[in-house]
Amino acid sequence: MTEVAFHFNAPDRLSYACRLLRKAVGSGARVVVTGEGGLLRELDSTLWTFSPLEFVPHCHARAEPSVLAASPVVLAETVHDTPHHQVLVNLGGPVPDGFERFERLIEVVTLDDDDRQQARSRWKHYTDRGYAITRHDLALKEQA
């Protein structure tokens, strides 16, 4: 069964996603990031610029098969037909279709009220289906 984790209180979704992806790639994980197209385009740009000394290899799901296979991070509006099924990071509002094919799902939730409300709906969706959820409060982590 997919391990589900919610990372709450991210002050900046894209900045947090970049740090999360850098850590995941550093540990050898293969990740699919899902969300709306505009947000994924912003993430693509941010991944190129967020750290001048580091690069997080990534591509879009529309890339050539050889590029997809070589990229540890794939940006995809939908997770169907993505090459990796290890970690899924959801930056979007709805529950991603096909999330159950992944070993792990990470939901990134900002401080925005609408985003938090959508996260509550996703939380309920997962718990209603028997998924155990791990909660990470980023505000508490930063205070420590």
Tens digits of pLDDT across the chain (144 residues): 999 999 999 999 999 999 999 999 999 999 999 999 999 999 999 999 998 888 899 999 999 999 999 999 999 999 988 999 999 999 999 999 999 999 999 999 999 999 999 999 999 999 999 999 999 999 876 555
What pLDDT score does 81 carry? 85
Q: Which residues contact 14 (CB under 8 A, 6 or more apart)?
A: 39, 42, 43, 46
Q: Residue with structure tokens 């959801």? A: 90
What pLDDT score does 52 carry? 84
83 vs 71: CA distance, rounded Å: 9
- pTM of the full predicted structure? 0.95
What pLDDT score does 70 carry? 95
What pLDDT score does 51 carry? 86
Structural fold of domain 3-143: Rossmann fold (3.40.50)
Q: Give the count of beta carbons closer than 10 Å to the beta carbon of residue 18.
A: 20
